[in-house]
Chains A and B, each alone.
Chain A
Amino acid sequence: MPTSASLVTNLPADFNTFGQAVDTSMSELLGGTTGQVLSKTSATNMDFTWVTPQAGDITGVTAGTGISGGGTSGDVTVTNSMATAITTNGDLIYGTGSGTFTRRGIGSTGQVLTVSGGVPAWAAASSGAMMLITRQTFSNVATTTTTFDSVFSSTYGSYYVVIESLYAATGADDLHLQWRYAGPTTQAASYFGNDVGVESGTTTITNSAQSNTAQSVLTRYIGPSTNPGQGQFFAYNLSGVSAEPSLYANYAEGGRGSTSTASVQCLAGRIYTGFLLKSSSSNITGTVSVYGLVKA
């Protein structure tokens, strides 16, 4: 029979048969103190213990700096306010005071980050500086069309271009350059100049004239994948105003060590914005860096 302290689960059933044992397992629910919560003591049915909640249990979420949302009940939504302040590709976030911030939109090609009025701001590079505008690696491309578009601007007076580890599927191919202008459109005529090449191990010098050709020839031997070549060219009259650009190039192919020099002017005055490189008859692979020399 239950005592006065027993907590029975089913009183009618327990008294159905006189004298039978009754289930007093719920007696563990007795006791406890104010603020305690019920916790399972083991996996056994009806095995409970009154415990005091541990410090650190979440009873509410309060938003802090850079965070919004929070609450004390139901589903809690927390938002990274710093991330949602970003609206556009290239945005930067900077502080505007204690716990506050705002976005700075991306600058234009060739600009550098400086300080204006106590906050970060984009501005033209200081006079006389040589700035890396872009450095791109390409593999097995028919031409570098689009890769070096929008690299020329009024920020710079002239350009220095470095060609590294360049090779063609047909190593004996010529390396061609064509200027590009708004559109973008490729300038495919009016190149005048010459290129001079010296074959490795010989004294033979080949001078090739370029007279109203479809492109500039930078070298007559790019080099194969086993021995990539390298070179550079200096280009000017590409400063954001209509002009006839010129270039002066040096190149050495790695396979035989042949060297070449080219000087080519394009007699079609335009506002040119970029260039493309290609070989005379096969795919090319390499890395090219474009530096701008800021106007004095």
Chain B
Amino acid sequence: MTTLKDMIAIIKAENPTLQVGDDEQGYTQLSATEYEAQVTEWAQGRLEKEAKQAEANAIANAKSDAVVKLTALGIDPKALGL
């Protein structure tokens, strides 16, 4: 499982620098403090997203397994709402 520290390292490798701004006002790089805060926030966001995806996959797999077992027992899964 990816730790927060690992994820921060991954995001830093993807983004050696970060910027804010727009085409009209121009762009400025984040300060070192702002950069660390942004990378940490992103790492937490990515880990949360991965955890939710893993949970959704686990539920889907469990449901699929249940359908296979019920069918093998001669029970219609749809009758149970699966």
Contacts and interface: CB of A to CB of B under 8 A. Distances in A.
Interface residues of B, number: 20
A228 B42 CA distance: 20
Chain A's interface: helix, strand, loop or mixed, by majority?
Answer: loop
B21 interface: yes
Chain B's interface: helix, strand, loop or mixed, by majority?
Answer: mixed
A141 B14 contact: no
B23 A142 contact: no
Interface residues of A, number: 21
B46 interface: yes
B48 to A, nearest CB: 8
Contacts of A140: 19
Contacts of B24: 136-137
B38 A142 contact: yes
A280 B21 contact: no
Interface string B27-62: 100100000001000110110110000000000000
A142 B18 contact: yes
A281 B46 contact: yes
B2 to A, nearest CB: 12
Contacts of A155: none
By Cβ-Cβ distance, the 8 closest A-B pairs, closest first, are: A280-B45, A281-B46, A281-B42, A138-B22, A142-B18, A281-B45, A136-B22, A147-B22
Given A280-B42, A282-B15, A283-B15, 20 more contacts: A136-B22, A136-B23, A137-B22, A138-B22, A138-B23, A139-B27, A141-B22, A141-B27, A142-B18, A142-B30, A144-B20, A144-B22, A147-B25, A170-B46, A174-B45, A174-B49, A280-B49, A281-B42, A281-B43, A282-B42
